[in-house]
Amino acid sequence: MITIDRLIGEFDRALRAVAGIAHASRPSPGNEMEENPLGDEERAHAAALMRVNHVGEVCAQALYQGQALTARDESSRKALEEAAREEEDHLAWSAERIAELGGRPSLLNPLWYAGSFALGAAAGVLGDKWNFAFLAETEHQVEEHLTGHLEALPPADRRTRAVVEAMRADEAKHRATALALGAAELPEPVRRAMRLASKVMTTVAYRI
Ligand SMILES: [Fe+2]
Ligand SMILES: [Fe+2]
User: Per-residue pLDDT for the chain (208 aa), expressed as one digit of tens each?
Assistant: 566 776 677 667 777 776 667 788 899 999 998 888 888 999 999 999 999 999 999 988 888 887 777 766 777 777 788 888 899 999 999 999 999 999 999 989 988 888 888 887 787 778 888 888 888 999 999 999 999 999 999 999 999 999 999 999 999 999 999 899 888 888 999 889 888 888 888 899 898 9
67 and 131 Cβ atoms separated by less than 8 Å: yes
Task: Output the pTM of the full model.
Answer: 0.86
Q: Which ligand is nearest to the CA of 178?
A: 2
Dihedral of CA 5/6/8/9: which sign?
A: positive
Question: How many angstroms does the Cα of residue 90 sit away from the middle of ligand 1?
Answer: 5
Which of 150, 47, 61 lies closest to 99 in space, CA to CA? 47
Q: Which ligand is nearest to the CA of 83?
A: 2
